[in-house]
Chains A and B, each alone.
Chain A
């Protein structure tokens, strides 16, 4: 079926009516040829302003040959890479670097895995967990369908595109990946937050706290304006306590349900400890002027987890973090975002020690997790939809340039800033038939400028199945495929060639075959898994 230019009918209400004209012409660019060199590829460029006659249409100077691709870094002399006990001890080559970049970021851009592998395991992990300075975003800035800059706080969907762009372009991928992790951990939805800016501010809070003290993070989140609205902290006062935040801060954020960590009474007492925050509402600003009002705070004594005192909101957070069942919760939850098999009890204990000994800091636990053998030798896990999309855009070298990503990600089950509920996204449900269809369609969109026009471009009439697959893989940044998938793709390429019965079909059918190979690589398990 042809790709609709807009989201099909009867979908969500259409928020945009005006579509500006786009001028299309053919441009040329260098793409990796899969053998470490480059080849020219034609593609349709969409100008959002009328281009001048005779404007530059590429491909420009040929980039230097990629020596790293031709000579894998694993063959290079090993760097000094002493590893801590309990860490992965095997070869740390490009394949392992790819997995690290997939789990702790959004996959590699061409050449990045080799570069990271050259740092050794510890150096590679620390380059991610100890970024220097502020993040640099490189490459073309994001734009909407009209070619305009984004208005993340104001225009529908631009918040999603703004974050997606950071994932695609940042040089500190783990900061973005951890911000996404914390967005899921402290899942807050714009559905009950009056402005999008408050959501964006919360995500910046996650970026700032993602490697530091969990207690600092927890306190910052507790009084964050978006969270105060989402779980009604701004309406919790001594005359009429609202238990919403008190319950979820223990059940979902720090201790976990059904473990005997707290009682219904603890929830009611915590709610009293958290009283006092308030805000005002106006039609211009939404909820604003968030502040602690001592007059609204319950100053009577409260008993939480058997400890009695005149607790306030900072105590409420501290009591959770100091609870004996908190480290095990923290470690298992953080682990689960990166590794799909449960840690052994010895590993879990070691991580709990690392957490407690460091004064309940996130980074030491994170570094241990990212060096664990389970990450490199264990089974793969399913990429969240936004992670898959960001990784595909990085591999294809495509900037964020369309608002289609907003509703496609929504259909795939992950609209940023709109998690389904306070427990976040349900990772066990990323891949039912509906989400899978959305991933398929997202791949079709992502390939917009890489696919060939079967009926207008003069496609090769002699391309062999092997050449066809090599070309398609090169367009995807030369990802590794499982052998049985490679075999199936080659088999497909051969079957397609058998359908050519007439002379005129030689080029067009090969072009269709190329498009199909591109699509199949994008929906293969190799692309969906990390």
Chain B
């Protein structure tokens, strides 16, 4: 049976109908049942510090026992309607220095605390909503989007009693609460609530490994390393290769008697599903020019994925470079920030050119900010409040929480927090993803919801 092509927008060699056809073709051969996959839990970086056993992951929930035929996957793809909104999470790994991204050049203490690292007034565009702040010159692309009303900035986001460990603080952001125990990401819980049993693309990490932010308890999610397709190589060709993949998929669906074996089975089953789904996806073209960088290439691929209707709900990607700038901060930060911001601007222009910009919102975050006083290594140590941004045509474009100033720091000489990341999550859930935050974010009732989305 050949399924009816649905209303696909064809802009590359790959179309939604092809996608459906390939899945149906395999299903028509009567492929064996496939174990419903389950991803790894969140916070596994934390598990090391808590000395949980490695490898198999002791805290794994029970392995899904339901067996769903492969044809269900086709249904999963078809059911994800084009109008679904997509949230893209971009992570500045290491704790980006918010006082460089939005430099408080108008604060008299800035130059005192940062004798070497302070940005000179006039070096970048003034931040319109608070003229004491100034965009880093490398964030000019972000400043452009802000000028168009497409960026909501959080100049001092965080939480009370900030933890200055990368891993703990990142974990809090990933799971959406201040606990070390929970193992599902806040977006993973959202996917568990609304996601499909057989659509791993609904939560997609573009970084090779799964972001703990989208770690679910039940629903399948996926990670890919390259947007250029997902081919498995071998010296086996037609017609034997189809039988080979069938056996590989069977490795994924046999019973497992240990967590380690479950993990391999799950990976085999999901890998084979993704192979069927993404083979050939890689040939795409973009209507706008992107900067020449790996990060931009990923975003270009993501825009093409959205255009052909791959059923994604939540996508995560890491910003290029590392932001744990204990030493020689200026150069590293500038290069990486520029690459990130220019990539995002091109992505936004691409979505606008394709008429998709109203469907995509970007959330950009980091685990903390850095200490206002620079250290002796031309760098900065771990701090408390940091910055976050919500970007897109539908972003409200209004600053959330004021810049607290450098005059009154907290007890550890760090920047005070003026907005809570959990409030941002609640707003994104309710205003963008149309889902009740109470069911996802513990203690949601206690957080103010900033307006993040244009109505």
| A positions within 8 Å CB-CB of B | 1-4, 8-12, 191, 231-232, 235-237, 239-244, 247, 251-252, 256-258, 264, 329, 332-333, 335-337, 339-342, 379-382, 411, 413, 421-424, 426-429, 431-438, 440-441, 444, 447, 451, 454, 484-485, 488-489, 491-492, 495-496, 499, 509, 512-513, 515-516, 519-520, 523-525, 528-529
CB–CB A9/B260 < 8 A:
no
CB distance from A389 to the nearest CB of B (A): 16
Q: Which of chain B's residues 297-333 have a Cβ closer than 8 Å to chain A? A: 297, 322, 326-327
Closest 4 CB pairs of A and B: A240-B376, A381-B55, A379-B258, A235-B377
Complex Cα gap A340–B50 (Å): 14
Within 8 Å of chain A (Cβ to Cβ): is B144?
no
CB–CB A382/B263 < 8 A:
yes
CB–CB A379/B44 < 8 A:
no
Complex Cα gap A422–B233 (Å): 33
Complex Cα gap A441–B225 (Å): 13
Question: Which chain B residues border A422 with CB–CB below 8 Å?
Answer: 166
Complex Cα gap A431–B251 (Å): 14
Q: Which of chain B's residues 46-66 have a Cβ closer than 8 Å to chain A? A: 47-58
CB–CB A433/B167 < 8 A:
no
Chain A CB count within 10 A is highest, among B45, B226, B376, for B376
CB distance from B184 to the nearest CB of A (A): 14
CB distance from B237 to the nearest CB of A (A): 6
The interface on chain B, measured as residues whose beta carbon lies within 8 A of the other chain's beta carbons, has a size of 83
Question: Which chain B residues border A11 with CB–CB below 8 Å?
Answer: 226
CB–CB B232/A339 < 8 A:
no
Question: Which chain A residues border B44 with CB–CB below 8 Å?
Answer: 426-429
CB–CB B379/A444 < 8 A:
no
- Of B135-143, B239-247, B339-347, B437-445, the one touching chain A: B239-247
Contact of B53 (CB < 8 Å), options: A256, A340, A492, A516: A340
Sample 21 A-B pairs with CB under 8 A, ordered by A number. Answer: A1-B232, A9-B228, A232-B327, A235-B376, A239-B376, A256-B51, A340-B260, A342-B51, A379-B257, A380-B261, A381-B54, A381-B260, A411-B208, A426-B45, A427-B44, A432-B39, A436-B271, A440-B271, A519-B235, A520-B244, A528-B264
CB distance from A243 to the nearest CB of B (A): 5
CB–CB A441/B51 < 8 A:
no
CB–CB A428/B222 < 8 A:
no
Complex Cα gap A529–B261 (Å): 8
CB–CB A513/B222 < 8 A:
no
Within 8 Å of chain A (Cβ to Cβ): is B126?
no
Task: Identify the closest chain B residue to A411 (Cβ).
Answer: B225
CB distance from A24 to the nearest CB of B (A): 15
CB distance from B397 to the nearest CB of A (A): 34
CB distance from A140 to the nearest CB of B (A): 23
Complex Cα gap A329–B237 (Å): 51
- 15 additional A-B pairs beyond A340-B56, A342-B58, A432-B208, beta carbons within 8 Å, are A1-B231, A11-B226, A243-B382, A329-B51, A380-B258, A421-B93, A431-B267, A432-B40, A433-B271, A440-B232, A441-B233, A444-B234, A485-B254, A509-B240, A523-B268
Question: Which chain B residues border A454 with CB–CB below 8 Å?
Answer: 235, 237
Question: Which chain B residues border A431 with CB–CB below 8 Å?
Answer: 263-264, 266-267
CB–CB A342/B53 < 8 A:
yes
CB–CB B234/A516 < 8 A:
yes
Do A427 and B55 form a contact, CB below 8 Å, given A1-B232, A10-B228, A515-B236? yes
CB–CB A438/B225 < 8 A:
yes
Task: Identify the closest chain A residue to B411 (Cβ).
Answer: A264
CB–CB A252/B381 < 8 A:
no
Question: Which chain B residues border A438 with CB–CB below 8 Å?
Answer: 225
| B positions within 8 Å CB-CB of A | 39-41, 44-45, 47-58, 93-94, 164-168, 180, 200, 205, 208-210, 222-226, 228, 230-237, 239-241, 243-244, 246-248, 250-251, 254-255, 257-261, 263-268, 270-271, 274-275, 294, 297, 322, 326-327, 375-377, 379, 381-382, 412
Complex Cα gap A329–B56 (Å): 20
Task: Identify the closest chain A residue to B50 (Cβ).
Answer: A258
Complex Cα gap A451–B241 (Å): 14
Question: Which chain A residues border B259 with CB–CB below 8 Å?
Answer: 340, 379
Complex Cα gap A332–B47 (Å): 12
Question: Which chain B residues border A232 with CB–CB below 8 Å?
Answer: 326-327, 377, 379
CB–CB A257/B165 < 8 A:
yes
Complex Cα gap A18–B34 (Å): 46
Contact of B233 (CB < 8 Å), options: A4, A10, A381: A4
CB distance from A527 to the nearest CB of B (A): 10
Complex Cα gap A434–B40 (Å): 14
Complex Cα gap A512–B284 (Å): 32
CB distance from B168 to the nearest CB of A (A): 6
CB–CB A433/B51 < 8 A:
no
Question: Which chain B residues border A242 with CB–CB below 8 Å?
Answer: 326-327, 375-377, 379, 381
CB–CB A451/B267 < 8 A:
no
CB distance from A488 to the nearest CB of B (A): 5
CB distance from B179 to the nearest CB of A (A): 10
Task: Identify the closest chain A residue to B207 (Cβ).
Answer: A434
Task: Identify the closest chain A residue to B166 (Cβ).
Answer: A421
Contact of B57 (CB < 8 Å), options: A4, A191, A240, A428: A428
Complex Cα gap A164–B445 (Å): 54
Complex Cα gap A515–B238 (Å): 12
Question: Which chain A residues border B167 with CB–CB below 8 Å?
Answer: 251, 257, 423
CB distance from B431 to the nearest CB of A (A): 31
Complex Cα gap A231–B250 (Å): 46
Question: Which chain A residues border B209 with CB–CB below 8 Å?
Answer: 413, 426, 429, 432, 434-435
Question: Which chain A residues border B41 with CB–CB below 8 Å?
Answer: 428
Do A451 and B271 form a contact, CB below 8 Å, given A513-B240, A519-B244? no
Question: Which chain A residues border B224 with CB–CB below 8 Å?
Answer: 433-434
Do A424 and B236 form a contact, CB below 8 Å, given A340-B55, A381-B55, A495-B243? no
CB distance from B367 to the nearest CB of A (A): 11
Complex Cα gap A247–B168 (Å): 13
Contact of A516 (CB < 8 Å), options: B48, B51, B241, B376: B241
Chain A CB count within 10 A is highest, among B223, B266, B294, B381, for B381
Task: Identify the closest chain B residue to A191 (Cβ).
Answer: B322
Complex Cα gap A422–B170 (Å): 14
Question: Which chain B residues border A8 with CB–CB below 8 Å?
Answer: 226, 228
CB distance from B262 to the nearest CB of A (A): 10
Contact of B226 (CB < 8 Å), options: A10, A484, A485, A512: A10
Complex Cα gap A174–B237 (Å): 40
Complex Cα gap A10–B286 (Å): 15
CB–CB A499/B248 < 8 A:
no
Complex Cα gap A437–B164 (Å): 35
Contact of B248 (CB < 8 Å), options: A264, A333, A337, A523: A523
Question: Which chain B residues border A244 with CB–CB below 8 Å?
Answer: 326, 381
CB–CB B235/A423 < 8 A:
no
Complex Cα gap A237–B264 (Å): 48
CB–CB A512/B237 < 8 A:
yes
Question: Which chain B residues border A515 with CB–CB below 8 Å?
Answer: 234-236
CB–CB B232/A485 < 8 A:
no
Do A491 and B235 form a contact, CB below 8 Å, given A380-B258, A434-B225, A529-B264? no
Question: Which chain B residues border A513 with CB–CB below 8 Å?
Answer: 240
Do A523 and B251 form a contact, CB below 8 Å, given A382-B263, A438-B225, A496-B243? yes
Complex Cα gap A239–B377 (Å): 11
CB–CB A336/B54 < 8 A:
yes
CB distance from A524 to the nearest CB of B (A): 6
Task: Identify the closest chain B residue to A328 (Cβ).
Answer: B51
Contact of B247 (CB < 8 Å), options: A4, A433, A520: A520
CB distance from B267 to the nearest CB of A (A): 4
CB distance from A76 to the nearest CB of B (A): 30
Task: Identify the closest chain B residue to A485 (Cβ).
Answer: B251
CB distance from B140 to the nearest CB of A (A): 25
Contact of B251 (CB < 8 Å), options: A10, A435, A488: A488
CB–CB A382/B55 < 8 A:
yes
CB–CB A428/B47 < 8 A:
yes
Question: Which chain A residues border B234 with CB–CB below 8 Å?
Answer: 1, 3, 440, 444, 515-516, 519
